[in-house]
Structure 1
Amino acid sequence: MTREPTAATASGAAATSSTVYGAPCWVSLMTRDLRAAHDFYGAVMGWEFRPARLGEEFSVALSGGRLIAGVGALASAFHVAVAWTPYFAVRNADVTAGRIRERSGTVAVGPVAFALGRGALAADRDGAVFGIWEGEVPTGWGAGRSAAPAWVRLHTRDAFEAAIFYGEVLDWACGRPGHCDVEYEGDEVVLRSAGRAVARLSSGALEEAPDPAIRPRWQVHFPVPDVEERMTAALRHGGTVISHEPGAQATLRDPDGGLFTLTDSGDADSAGDATGAADVDAPAMEPPD
């Protein structure tokens, strides 16, 4: 979980995991080489980095003073793949971790206490890795894809079955005020918070696929004003193009193997409200501090 500066100090009053309950509230990159990650994402995304309070292996990415993501050099220590991971806001991390285990998911790390909350790193029944966070979240997260600095999509074996798992774990579609709602659009599941789309779940991933790009996973999408320009910069700095829809989106692999997607910030689909949208002091697990 990489998280660091508080939302309150960075951009006004902070939201909490209770006010955006069940919604994505942070993303973090677990990598092997922090300096290399800074060089790549700084060149491609124009991000600036500053240290997180967890030590020299953690940092937080900012753009124009706005909190974007966490980065932690933990992949080697945890013996896990380099990956971008979304965190979901919860009221009680211990209760949620128990629900994950009860439903045949896995809790790999935590819940762990940090300065502004508690978090854990987990995986669902199909192996897609995600995090949970109880505490403050950065301004803009949980407010809908058009407002957040990133949005997420689950590529999974069966989106409807996955929606049941996450619904039971995160209280989606429970009908209580402030909780996320679920809608079905064709073969996709759309997660909405306060009426705004904040995530999508899509079927078709293959559990045993040798290519991690088509195995069950949460994919992090970053809206950018010029997909082609950023894609070219990624190639120039050692990245790889996995898929590309000219002008609309590009899925890339960073030099260390982390998958992420660039989407056109001017495209309604990239904001998540169109049915044709393409395919979180804290942890690289650290959500916002």
Structure 2
Amino acid sequence: MTVSQWGIRVPARKGEEMRQALIREGALDASLRVLRDGESLILPVLENRESAEWCEFEAHPDREPLPRHELVGGIAIMQEKDPEGAEKLLASRPSLHTVVFARGEVSGEYRTREFTVLAGMPTTRTEITEHGHRFAVDFAGAYFSARLSTERQRILAKVQRGETILDMFAGVGPFAITLAKAASLVVASDLNPKAIGLMLENVAQNRIKNVLPMLADARRLGGILPWKFDRIVMNLPLAGTEFLPEAFLLCRPGGTIHFYSLVSQEGEHAARIRELGGEILAERVVRSYSPGQWHAVYDIEVKNE
């Protein structure tokens, strides 16, 4: 049985040293087997942390197997409605406070998902630590993906100090708060009032002074905002294509758009991007989504005047 979990990659020669350090810290997920990848070992950890990556681990053969699940903060998300398995999960990890069953996929204008609490506290709210930031999230009320942690760091590495950035579908603010470290201003827009409320909490909790939360329809941003931005993040994979013209309108010539989309073939949006006046700098797979479909990101340079 495999389990999706965060892992820390270390050289094999340092694996035991790191394993013992994680045990002392109470951070090692002892229910999962260490993963070998060439000359590296990947150690499963209970929570996301700096340099962690999302991996598929095998359950430990000498321990009672746990149901397949995803750990996010203090919540385990199960793909099957298994109350007995949920109780086992809850008892297996002291860091867990709730186990839920995901009743559907992310959908609707507010990008929400329905859950049933199977064990533990009756809540879909938790707190997540990611690269030194803490994010309050509520999975039933607003969109958040812990799996995009690596993407947030990748884009942060590209930001030039002093850039102005627009996050068109900001959710609870993880991209905006992460990129604020290098930017002069990040405008973080979302249509969902619950997401904006959580974002305000997160901006305050992380003591960020240069993020401007905005409750707005992305279709209206061109008529509201007085700026052309150096960089735009578009993380709306199910419907982002319809907002591409607005993003090109709001991005200065020479600026960059990071456009996320669910695709079923390479170059699926290339013609539309060129038609709008963009050059694709890179197209990369973020993660698989379903058979024959994957979550991709296009890094686009805006060429049109």
Larger-Rg structure = 2
TM-score by length of 2: 0.30
More RCO (CA 8 Å, sep 6+)? 1
Question: Which of the pair is proportionally richer in helix?
Answer: 2
